[in-house]
A and B are shown apart, each in its own frame.
Chain A
Amino acid sequence: MAEAAHHYDETMPLEYRTEESRLNILGFWIFLGAEVALFATLFATYLVLFQRTGHGPTTADLFEIKDVMIETLLLLTSSFTCGLAVFEMRRRRLTGLLVWLLVTLLLGAGFITFEVREFIHYVHEGATMQTSAFLSSFFVLVGTHGAHVSLGIGWMTLIIIQLLQRGFTPRTARKVFIVSLYWHFLDVVWIFIFTLVYLTGMVM
């Protein structure tokens, strides 16, 4: 960062132009590496515990594929719109960028709404975090992902405000790029949750 203002490289995309931006983007990739380790541990915990249902319901008793499919579609589409946002940023179209970010946000919020509804539904059926080791690990794994998405929504809101205030700068561009990395990462995690938790749970 000490060299931040130097090494300004006109040939790079806007988000990569300053040294500070390049460092931050690399650092965020590495942070995502740590996040992979974090979710891997949660998945391992879930896979160890998911058949240990105690007196509580099993996966097949609990999951309903319809809600989960809606959540999946919402989140996967939001990843696509997030990609479109970065595409618009590369074309230097502020309005396009803002619109697609906003769409991404709304899809993310929709995902969270359905997830919260799903959780409430389970709790009403008596399947709480305290019921069994399976449910503890289920709620913590899926809940950690949900908390990440919620945090991403708040974060993206801040970036939209900054885009409205400041327009395209190397800094705002970098922030958009990094939040998009984060958003795609959450999408990847969800694919694993969908497969390992829900699909496996419906089959087993």
Chain B
Amino acid sequence: MKWSEFFVTGEPLIYAADVSIVLTVIGIVFILTYFKKWKWLWDEWLTTVDHKKIGVMYIISAVLMLFRGGVDALLMRAQLTAPNMKFLDSQHYNEIFTTHGTIMILFMAMPFIIGLMNIVVPLQIGARDVAYPYLNALSFWLFFVGAMLFNIAFVIGGSPDAGWTAYFPLAGNEFSPGVGNNYYAVALQISGIGTLMTGINFLVTILKMRALGMTLMRMPMFTWTILITCVLIIFAFPVLTVALALMTFDRLFDTQFFTMANGGMSMLWANLFWIWGHPEVYIVILPSFGIFSEVVSTFARKRLFGYKAMVGSIVGIAFLSFIVWVHHFFTMGAGAAVNSFFSITTMAIAIPTGVKIFNWLFTLRKGRIRFTTAMLWSLAFIPNFVIGGVTGVMLAMAAADYQYHNSYFLIAHFHYVLIAGTVFACFAGLHYWYPKMFGHMLNERLGKWTFWLFMIGFNVCFFPMYFLGLMGMTRRMYTYSAGLGWTPLNVVATIGAALMGIGFLVLCYNIYYSARYGERDMTGDPWDGRTLEWATSSPVAHYNFAVIPEVKDLDAYWEMKKSGKGFEMDEEKLKPIHMPSNSGRPFLISIAFFFAGFGLVFKWFTLAIIAAVFIILGLILRSFDDDDGYYISVDEIKRTERLTRKEA
């Protein structure tokens, strides 16, 4: 292979990206060296097994990926603003919509949600860590190297360009001969393994590590949604694992799974992809429902309305999510009976979702509402998500879908559910739990600026797309002619996208501003919260709870406060706390995964095999590792607790 093929060449935008990547890397290395932070980075972050730090790393990665995916989005909007634009050529446009979709779903929405769940779930159930802290670190690093592998594609070797759904035969060797779709298959595989392990980890954590007295029906709603999400992950991700493995075999070893000759069946890919893909969208939306439930109940100062109905509807949605996948390709021509079945199951999802919407509305009713930033995101979610949901039911009608299919109507629909659902929830959760992560608040005034810019921009950007779709504009077209009359609405959409971009910049500035000038949270309970995470100090001590609380009711901390006691700690009751040791092995194993993946992408099998040997070596070392962790002494706990609780 020649160097000119190894590095992507010929595009000014790519050269600019090359330069900025090199400068950023040099900058990071310089800062770490200059401030002598290498050891800090290794001890505090790269080797950590603390669920809170792992959560923070997930969220940082997610924000970085939001930037990358957002830049992709803005490039697409720039290209589509006016007819016959020459800003991007068709190949470049194909690559950008592919990476935009893949990154936003798998490397932005997923890690953001998983980050929040890492930080919050053990605190909400009164646990000191997750069931398998070491595995948790491995999950994160596998996700991270998968994301990095996917992200270097656009400068080394070339991006995938067959859409985030990577349909065959387009994604096969015949029509996508480069390494781009190898990146897709391998990078998603690596991070998918991490996600599966997270699912198992949190399912066991929630089932087995709840504080005394916290029955299943006393769990906070966010924890409930994570429990069900874990079940979805455990049954959906193995399907992705297989689908990607078959894709890898087709692309690297010329097997015949999805080919057009020798018996291959390209629609098998579409089926496998969406058997995973549909549960996947619920994997990112159910936790969002959980976040909104927490925020709405806290800031309406009321117990969540219809708790049991909420739980029932989550379970219902999770069940239905596995039997709707064909609605992604009604036009495949599976026949009237099949399409009718999937049409009905799809529409049925509106029922439990509607139950949830009404529950939030009734929670708000007669509540004493505080319009914090987190609450604004949650309130905006309800009408915006309903717009997405109603258009979803329109798309669910198989006969009508022949008109809507793959048009901008669909684009508008899924952005309305994914942005108004998941992204709004991530921002709400970020504002809400920020003091638990860093000990200071995110600035509310800047937060509200972000909210209004982003929320208005979102509607300006995506609402016109419904009409563009009805006017015949199809997705993934890189340009259009002037006579079609699509120009005005496209201009409007681009303005909206720019507003969202500005909103994101304000959010980034807010993170910086709040770190310097943000209000410290001395109480540990800045929002007058209801669940156990607010019974800890901010930021949370690394053992979480000096004494494991005893839960007597739903909204455990609220009940403690109502009985006038708060969460008291009897120093006599303190015992030494057992903690797991840090380990650099998850990080190093993941690095080996990166090289193994890189070797597979380029069919450099020697590299892949050497890296695989290192992976196996890491597993063997882990097997022989009998580090039992360590104990925090009672004296040290007392000191920490007095320090953090003195101001309260």
Binding site for B on A (CB under 8 A): 1-6, 22-24, 26-27, 30-31, 33-35, 37-38, 41-42, 45, 48-49, 52-56, 129-137, 139-140, 155, 158-159, 162, 171, 175
Contacts and interface: CB of A to CB of B under 8 A. Distances in A.
A3 B261 CA distance: 57
A130 B237 CA distance: 26
A45 B333 CA distance: 20
Interface residues of B, number: 54
Nearest to B254: A130
B474 to A, nearest CB: 29
B347 to A, nearest CB: 26
Given A3-B128, A130-B253, A133-B256, A30 B624 contact: no
Interface in B245-263: 245-246, 249-250, 253-257, 259, 261-263
Contacts, number: 136
Contacts of B580: 1-2
Given A3-B128, A26-B204, A27-B131, A133 B262 contact: yes
A140 B578 contact: no
B4 interface: no
Nearest to B122: A2
B268 A129 contact: no
Contacts of A2: 127-129, 543, 577-580
A120 B131 CA distance: 43
B241 A38 contact: yes
Contacts of B264: 49, 52, 133, 136
10 contacts: A1-B131, A1-B580, A2-B577, A4-B578, A23-B204, A49-B257, A49-B263, A52-B263, A130-B255, A159-B623
Given A130-B254, A137-B257, A162-B623, A37 B238 contact: yes
A55 to B, nearest CB: 7
A136 B255 contact: yes
B208 to A, nearest CB: 6
B320 interface: no
Interface stretch (B11-19, B195-203, B557-565): B195-203
A4 B207 CA distance: 16
A27 B135 CA distance: 11
Contacts of B238: 34-35, 37-38, 41
Given A3-B578, A42-B242, A45-B242, A129 B255 contact: yes
Interface of B: 127-133, 196, 199-201, 203-204, 207-209, 234-239, 241-243, 245-246, 249-250, 253-257, 259, 261-265, 268, 272, 275, 543, 577-580, 620, 623-624, 626, 628-629
B41 to A, nearest CB: 25
A158 B242 contact: no
A139 B208 CA distance: 39
B268 A48 contact: yes
Contacts of A158: 620, 623-624
Contacts of B629: 1, 4
B256 A130 contact: yes
A45 B254 contact: no
A55 B132 contact: no
The 4 closest A-B pairs by CB, nearest first: A52-B263, A133-B263, A54-B262, A2-B128
A136 B249 contact: yes
A1 to B, nearest CB: 6
A97 B129 CA distance: 34
A46 to B, nearest CB: 11
A45 B268 contact: yes
A22 B209 CA distance: 11
Output the residue of A41, A49, A55 with the most chain B CB within 10 A.
A41
Nearest to B237: A34
Output the residue of B208, B254, B578 with the most chain A CB within 10 A.
B578
A140 B245 contact: yes
Contacts of A33: 234-235
B259 to A, nearest CB: 8
B256 A31 contact: no
Nearest to A5: B578
Contacts of B199: 34
Nearest to A165: B624
Contacts of B265: 48-49, 52, 133
A37 B200 CA distance: 14
Given A45-B246, A136-B246, 16 more contacts: A1-B580, A4-B629, A5-B578, A23-B209, A26-B204, A27-B204, A35-B238, A38-B241, A41-B239, A45-B268, A49-B268, A55-B262, A132-B262, A136-B249, A158-B624, A171-B626
Contacts of A132: 256, 262-263
Contacts of B578: 2-6
Contacts of A54: 256, 261-263
Contacts of B620: 158
A16 to B, nearest CB: 13
Contacts of A49: 257, 263-265, 268
A129 B208 contact: no
Nearest to B250: A136
Contacts of B257: 45, 49, 133, 136-137
